[in-house]
Structure 1
Amino acid sequence: MLRKAFWLFGVSVFLLILFLPGYTKLQELRDRNRDLEEKIKQLQIENTLLQQELSRVERDSVYQEKIIREKMGVVRKGEVPVKVVPEIRD
């Protein structure tokens, strides 16, 4: 009986040693997969927002002008650009 228990214990330890690294790797891959799926969701949301922005830029000329003025600093012919500098407090 003791001998049978010893063999059972030995086989259990052997199987644990054999399968533990694979199980650990499986858990790491599951975690990485979960992280990548979350990143995919975030990128899909960002992509949708960018597609909406592009659609708006393509259709709305007033919005186009606003973006050009704000991001590129373009002014119309005859306009004088004015830059407001914040006051520095000591």
Structure 2
Amino acid sequence: MIQVSNCPVAGLGDFDNKNHFSVYPNPAQSSITIGGTTKISAITIYNLTGQKVFETYYKHPISEIQLTLKDEWNGLYYLEIQDSDGRVFSIKLVIE
């Protein structure tokens, strides 16, 4: 028998990016804009198999960026945004 007590459970609200970054439009076609309350120091995009398809770093973190998407990218991706404090946020991105 397994007994669990006083164990915090992460819910969807625990991973809410609304207060940190916004990505629009989503679904996207040719470009996206990423902005937030903290500065962006790195952006990485992964496909559903976990393969890294894009990565960039900013020597001087910025508040907002417009990113041009490749024509062959279609489907669901995971966008990881690292802020200037080293925190990483993940957002689902649909590219049409």
Q: TM-score, normalised by structure 2?
A: 0.23
Q: TM-score, normalised by structure 1?
A: 0.24
Q: Specify which structure has the bigger relative contact order, considering alpha-carbon pairs within 8 angstroms and separated by 6 or more residues.
A: 2
Query: By percentage of residues, which structure has more strand?
Result: 2
Query: By percentage of residues, which structure has more helix?
Result: 1
